[in-house]
Structures are given as structure tokens and as C-alpha cells.
A = this chain, B = another copy of it.
């Protein structure tokens, strides 16, 4: 059994979803853990075929966690400060995907996406850990 780790960076152009799905073939059976090292961006597994699904997702989150709520106290970095952290908590910092026969077992419509919650562009670090036989 083996364990590998790698880190890569992704530049975002502000709020939205950015696909980062990649095939991993260094183990035959095991898991890939994808982890984002930030508290105002997150990871999701989502529908990757029809772009409108992501349009609706982003519109939904704009309603579910509005920016600049009256009761927010954590506003040093602007109206999207607490909003970004809360959207991150409602999604995930890591995704774990199984590997068999040397490939990730994603379903037909599943892609891995970085979900940027900040309005401005950022560089985000993502760690990929592969473990298995």
C-alpha cells in the first residue's frame, strides 16, 4: 500500500465554480482525497455536463447566504466575509473519491469543482492525497 501527496494552485476570477476533476492512476485500489487550504472557498462534487446546473447552484447560494446581513459582525474584509465562510461550511473542505482499477470511480455526471466564495480573484491551493494498493 502506498500514499502520495501533491499540491497545485488554481486561479479564480471571483465567485463561481471551477472544475478540477483529474484522473489519478498511481494506485489500483484506494481513495483520492482532495482538500482546499482556505476558509472562503470550498469543494463540491457536482453535475459537470450542463452549465445551467451550476448557474442555478450559484443563484441559490446567493439567496441562501446573502452578503452583508444586518447581524453580521465579521465584516473586516467586506460584505462577502462571513458569507464566504458560511458558504464554505455548507459545502466542504475535502472530497474523497474511490479508486478501482487505477481510475477514480466518479459517476457519469460527477465532476469535482472548486467553489469560490469571494467576489475578487484569488489563487487557491489544493492538496491531492492518493492512498491504496
Contacts and interface: CB of A to CB of B under 8 A. Distances in A.
Interface of A: 1-5, 7, 27, 29-31, 33, 35-39, 44-47, 50, 52-53, 55-57, 59-60, 64-65, 69, 71-74, 76, 81-82, 85-86, 88-100, 105-110, 125, 127, 129, 131-133
A100 B73 CA distance: 35
Nearest to A76: B50
Contact of A65 (B52, B60, B98): B60
Contact of A89 (B3, B46, B81): B46
Contacts of A57: 82, 85-86, 89
A19 to B, nearest CB: 13
A37 to B, nearest CB: 3
